[in-house]
Structure 1
Amino acid sequence: MRLRNKPEAPEKIAGYPQFIPENPEELKGNWSSRFDNNHPIHIEVGTGKGRFIYEMAKLHPEINYIGIELQVSVIVTALDKLIEAELPNLQLLHVNGGELTQYFEANEIDRVYLNFSDPWPKNKHEKRRLTYKTFLAGYEEILVPNGEIHFKTDNQGLFEYSLASFSQYGMILKQVWLDLHNSSFEGNVMTEYEEKFSNKGNRIYRVEAQFRA
């Protein structure tokens, strides 16, 4: 997908440090102070335009959320949502999701969401997939013991790869949905991509995978 260039985006992001911290590495180990509470912290790696993380923050004020997105022209849309309806339990990070240990201390995060990640279908790009073992090692380091990854995609190949990757890493596959929207699952919050792909008739896959303590 070609991203629309938004020349004003960097300046806008810089203008709202209360929502997108300028030096997030300084918050490593101190995110509870940023939120001014000790609530659990859930992060979404690859938050896109922010619909999922924004809706989750509205639904669950007892949980703190952080949306992580590298593309400046995309995260600015998520920022617009946060500016319009300020949520004290939501922050955004304009950083690389492959460098999470620079911004979070060990055991600081309670859950990781991966929604409709780039499938990187070519074998030579396997290491770029967000469910590749090196990414899993990063998630494990920042998550609490028995922390979980909740993963959704419409890409069958990526889903099958991820199930295998989770299993080979030694994770527990707690629950697996092969057709989420035609299941009994309750409380699903859709992303922009999820709605688009579902409307096209694509099947949505979901898994909850847990690290072993």
Structure 2
Amino acid sequence: MRLRNNPEALDHLKDHGDIVYINPEGMKGKWHSCFESQDAPLYIEIGMGKGDFILENARRYPDINFIGMEKFTTVLDKALKKALKEGMPKNLIFLKDDAVRLPELFENGELDRIYLNFSDPWPKSRHAKRRLTYPSFLELYKNALKKQGEMIFKTDNRNLFEYSLVTFANNGFVFEDVCLDLHHQEGYEDNIQTEYERKFSKNGPIYRLAVRVKGEENG
């Protein structure tokens, strides 16, 4: 369920411009400069929601720099408030923007990993182009990722999962891992759950894909 719009959210985000970038210009190729450790790998979650996943990642992996990207103002403000209350990790910043603007936001090869967690499945065929694993989006990710860069995709929607298997395979990615029941399969004990994942995993399996950009080393 989408949050009711908070008219004060944008002003609150602007008050924290040191950690929240709102539709930024001139940052392309310069995101590493936002962090103390400028040589660390750079990971981004696209559509981070209320931020549980990216916050826990930043805490657990201090030697990696993280960007939490969310296009909805009120949702991002919820994540910001949570981070400020719990303590904002120094290796995390927030970005208010849309995935369609990745070419304007990131230099080719600037990212090491992209997370897509529980994206809107857009189940109707006429809306397929809006799915974040549609081929046109995959091209944006490939350009933003380094050679051999990685994507981690999680969903509880079987149809979106099967659709994404095909689009990743046909658009320049190779599979590193395919999991059909994340919460009941050995080897995934370090899985960090999203708020949505904790709430709805009881309703059925969680599917997970790990893929890399196809390159010389993996054909």
Give the TM-score band, short-chain normalised: over 0.9
| Paired residue secondary structure (1:83) | helix
Match of 1:73 in 2: 74
Match of 1:31 in 2: 31
- How far did 1:170 drift? 3.1
Match of 1:211 in 2: 213
Structure-2-length-normalised TM-score: 0.94
- How far did 1:97 drift? 1.4
Match of 1:191 among 171, 190, 194: 194
Identity %: 47
In 2 relative to 1, CA 110–73 (structure 1 residues): closer, same or farther, beyond 3 Å? Answer: same
1: CA distance between counterparts of 2:167 and 2:132? 10
Match of 1:92 in 2: 94
- How far did 1:101 drift? 1.4
| Paired residue secondary structure (1:21) | strand
Alignment gaps of 5+ in structure 1: none
Match of 1:173 in 2: 175
2: CA distance between counterparts of 1:113 and 1:169? 17
- Residues 26-57 of structure 1: per-residue CA shift (max 9 Å, x gap): 21111111113210000000000000000000
Aligned structure 1 segments of 4 or more residues deviating by more than 3 angstroms: none
Aligned residues: 212
2: CA distance between counterparts of 1:211 and 1:92? 25
| Paired residue secondary structure (1:112) | strand
- How far did 1:22 drift? 4.1
Letter in 1 for 2:194: T
2: CA distance between counterparts of 1:151 and 1:203? 14
1:44-55 alignment to 2 at 5 Å? 44-55=45-56
- Residues 46-84 of structure 1: per-residue CA shift (max 9 Å, x gap): 000000000000000000000110111100011112222
2: CA distance between counterparts of 1:23 and 1:98? 12
| Paired residue secondary structure (2:183) | helix
The yes-or-no answer on 1:5 pairing with 2:8 is no
| Paired residue secondary structure (1:65) | strand
- How far did 1:107 drift? 0.8
Letter in 2 for 1:30: K
- How far did 1:12 drift? 0.3
Match of 1:60 in 2: 61
In 2 relative to 1, CA 159–22 (structure 1 residues): closer, same or farther, beyond 3 Å? Answer: closer
Match of 2:125 in 1: 123
Asked if the contact 1:27/1:34 (under 8 Å) is kept, the reply is no
Structure-1-length-normalised TM-score: 0.96
- How far did 1:186 drift? 2.5
2: CA distance between counterparts of 1:57 and 1:110? 15
2: CA distance between counterparts of 1:59 and 1:27? 26
